[in-house]
């Protein structure tokens, strides 16, 4: 979903084509088995092909959150230097608006060979011979996920394909998810709840996913609920604060005609789950068709 409300569809075929172009470009740059690639990208279309293209090339993606606040750039740079050095990142994929910032990081990390945008990789890879993709399976590295660093330096966790599939299949089994479900998410893709629990999960389940920007949700929380309504969605997930935000900030006039009766799963996790929050949310939105059994506290921890 774009800022103006317009939706851009992404098919499996288009995702495969663009991901292969990224993989071809990475291979042409001499990158391959278990080389680490940083993804400093927003929650947008470019993330999908960059992430899967990195995997198809045999490399290991390291998702990073992009810079948000101009007045905290120095703090941001120091944190990213710690991660990039720790992961021994070889190349960074980012978006054009922050290339200048990424180059500041580049100058302090000799191992970082280049800073590129997804568009440049897509263009290069389209004109190259097809890469012979080795099947990524078993205990081969899938990605490196870093903790928030709120209580010290960020710590990386190397997740294997086996780790990911165990987590995703457990979700499917417990929640009885099928390709008939429809997901909605505004969660950032550099965070495990958005990346693994939402996107990679729905990709594996064959479940359509309507994705919107976290900033779009924060600017107007009712957009999340209206997206659930518009797609007759059956499932979504968010941290506890999001449910409080909806209960407290959304005006009745914003949601006249809203219908949440299709929703059967609303997961609450990624931070402390407050029972009072669940009760407030249910009380506020039960009259809009929301079934109280849909609200489910969840817990996940990459380090485990």
Residue 219 φ then ψ, to 5°: -70, -35
What confidence score (pLDDT) does residue 180 get? 95
Mind listing the pLDDT tens digit for each residue in 107-158? Answer: 778 778 888 888 888 888 777 767 676 655 567 889 999 876 555 677 888 9
Q: Which of 66, 127, 70 has its CA nearest to residue 96?
A: 66
Question: What is the rounded distance in angstroms from the CA atom of residue 188 to the CA atom of residue 198?
Answer: 10
What confidence score (pLDDT) does residue 243 get? 97
Question: What is the rounded distance in angstroms from the CA atom of residue 190 to the CA atom of residue 186?
Answer: 12
The per-residue pLDDT of the chain, averaged, comes to 87
Model confidence at 207: pLDDT above 90: yes
Model confidence at 5: pLDDT above 70: no
User: Taking the model in full, what pTM does it have?
Assistant: 0.90
Question: What is the rounded distance in angstroms from the CA atom of residue 300 to the CA atom of residue 163?
Answer: 12
Question: What is the rounded distance in angstroms from the CA atom of residue 177 to the CA atom of residue 107?
Answer: 46
% of the chain at pLDDT higher than 90: 56
What confidence score (pLDDT) does residue 104 get? 72
Question: What is the rounded distance in angstroms from the CA atom of residue 8 to the CA atom of residue 59?
Answer: 28
Tokens describing residue 229: 């309504």
Model confidence at 6: pLDDT above 60: yes
Q: Does residue 60 or residue 44 have the better pLDDT?
A: 60
Model confidence at 254: pLDDT above 90: yes
User: What does the H/E/C string look like for 68-127?
Assistant: CCHHHHHHHHHHHHHHHHHCCCCEEEECHHHHHHHHHHHCCCCCCCEEEEHHHHHHHHHC
pLDDT band at 4 (very low <50, low <70, confident <90, very high): low
Which of the residue ranges 85-94, 237-246, 261-270 would you say has the lowest mean pLDDT? 85-94
pLDDT band at 18 (very low <50, low <70, confident <90, very high): very high
């Amino acid at each position: 979903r774009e800022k103006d409300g317009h939706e851009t569809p992404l098919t499996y075929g288009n995702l495969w084509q663009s991901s292969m172009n990224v993989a071809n470009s990475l291979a042409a740059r001499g990158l391959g088995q278990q080389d680490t690639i940083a993804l400093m990208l927003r929650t947008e279309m470019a993330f999908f092909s960059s992430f899967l293209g990195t995997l198809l090339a045999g490399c290991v993606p390291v998702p990073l959150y992009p810079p948000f606040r101009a007045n905290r750039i120095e703090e941001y740079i120091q944190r990213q230097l710690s991660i990039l050095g720790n992961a021994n990142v070889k190349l960074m994929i980012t978006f054009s608006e922050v290339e200048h910032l990424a180059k500041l990081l580049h100058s302090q990390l000799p191992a970082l060979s280049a800073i590129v945008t997804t568009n440049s990789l897509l263009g290069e890879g389209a004109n190259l011979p097809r890469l012979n993709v080795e099947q990524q399976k078993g205990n081969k590295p899938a990605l490196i996920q870093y903790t928030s660093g709120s209580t010290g330096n960020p710590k990386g966790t190397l997740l294997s394909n086996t780790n990911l599939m165990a987590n995703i299949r457990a979700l499917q089994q417990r929640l009885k998810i099928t390709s008939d479900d429809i997901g909605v998410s505004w969660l950032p893709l550099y965070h495990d709840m958005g990346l693994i629990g939402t996107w990679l999960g729905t990709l594996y389940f064959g479940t359509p996913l309507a994705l919107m920007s976290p900033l779009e949700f924060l600017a107007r929380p009712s957009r999340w609920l209206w997206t659930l309504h518009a797609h007759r969605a059956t499932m979504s997930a968010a941290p506890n604060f999001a449910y409080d935000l909806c209960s407290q900030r959304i005006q009745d006039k914003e949601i006249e005609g809203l219908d949440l009766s299709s929703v059967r799963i609303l997961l609450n996790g990624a931070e402390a789950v407050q029972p009072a929050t669940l009760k407030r949310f249910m009380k506020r939105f039960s009259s809009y068709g929301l079934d109280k059994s849909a609200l489910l506290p969840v817990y996940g921890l990459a380090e485990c």
